[in-house]
Amino acid sequence: MKDDSKSRKADLTEHLKVGILTLRLQPGTDLDEAHLSDAFGLSRTPLREVFRQLAGEGYLDLRTNRSARVSEMSYTTLRDFFLAAPMVYGAILRLAAQNATGTQIDALKDAQQAFKAALRAGSAEDRALANNRFHDVTGEMSGNVYLLPSFNRLLIDHARIGMTFYRPQTAKMTENLSQASNQHDAIIAAIEAGDEAAAAQLAEDHWNLSRDQIELFVMPDALDVPMGAPLSKPA
């Protein structure tokens, strides 16, 4: 019975993560605890354990005497995202080039093959999740207990605000997806060679590739800010 409960908690965790990453569960949405409890056969205690875990990872916000809520995407969080993402991604890939094991490199190659398959025949959700998994493996490679939680939090919002990047509607966007896949291959090669400088440069190149599309999604007018420069709040 204990193992069955553990399995149902894992199913709920995966259900909520995928729903949040793909915007099936919109930012700020209150979770229906009674519905989730019935759907996954979980009592309040294990349900709340899942919520606490996901809140610690940045997927949910917990509020006293109120239902759990999907983490918000406010102006402040978006501003922080644009400031932190290029710095954190660069540091992660530098460390990945230093620390990656053969098993992890194989996992990264598998993730890249899944990403290529999603580009060929998958939905926008499939592509976003496959891309998230690729970068998740690079985080595992970094092996840094201080940096990894920040990186994982960035990946949540990168997946959410980048969903439009995986719905190419123009030839340029399709070209960008192909280039993103090529950059993934180059990232694997840099990590496999232990080339920290190349990995860090690829992090910057990869960020810049999706940056314009992400900005168009989150702002009425694309931002024109150098990497790491502060953003001014619009009047």
- pLDDT per residue as tens digits for the range 168-225: 566 666 777 889 999 999 999 999 999 999 999 999 999 888 776 666 655 544 444 4
**pLDDT above 70 covers what percent of the chain?**
84
Rg (CA), the chain: 18
The two tokens of residue 68 are 């759990």
Domains 2-70 and 75-218 share a fold: no
Q: CB-hemisphere CA count at 13 Å for 46?
A: 19
Angle between the N-to-C axes of helices 196-218 and 171-193, in degrees from 0 to 180, rounded to the nearest 10 = 150
Question: Contact at 8 Å (CB) between 55 and 149?
Answer: no
Instruction: Please give the class, per CATH, of domain 2-70.
Output: mainly alpha
The domain limits of the chain are 2-70, 75-218
CA distance 22 to 65: 28
pLDDT in tens, the chain (235 residues): 456 888 999 999 999 999 999 999 999 999 999 999 999 999 999 999 999 999 999 999 998 888 899 999 888 888 888 889 999 999 999 999 999 999 999 999 999 999 999 999 988 899 999 999 999 999 999 999 999 999 999 999 999 887 766 665 666 667 778 899 999 999 999 999 999 999 999 999 998 887 766 666 555 444 444 434 444 444 3
CATH T-level assignment (fold) for domain 75-218: Four Helix Bundle (Hemerythrin (Met), subunit A) (1.20.120)
DSSP bridge partners of 70: 60
Residue 70 is predicted with a pLDDT of: 97
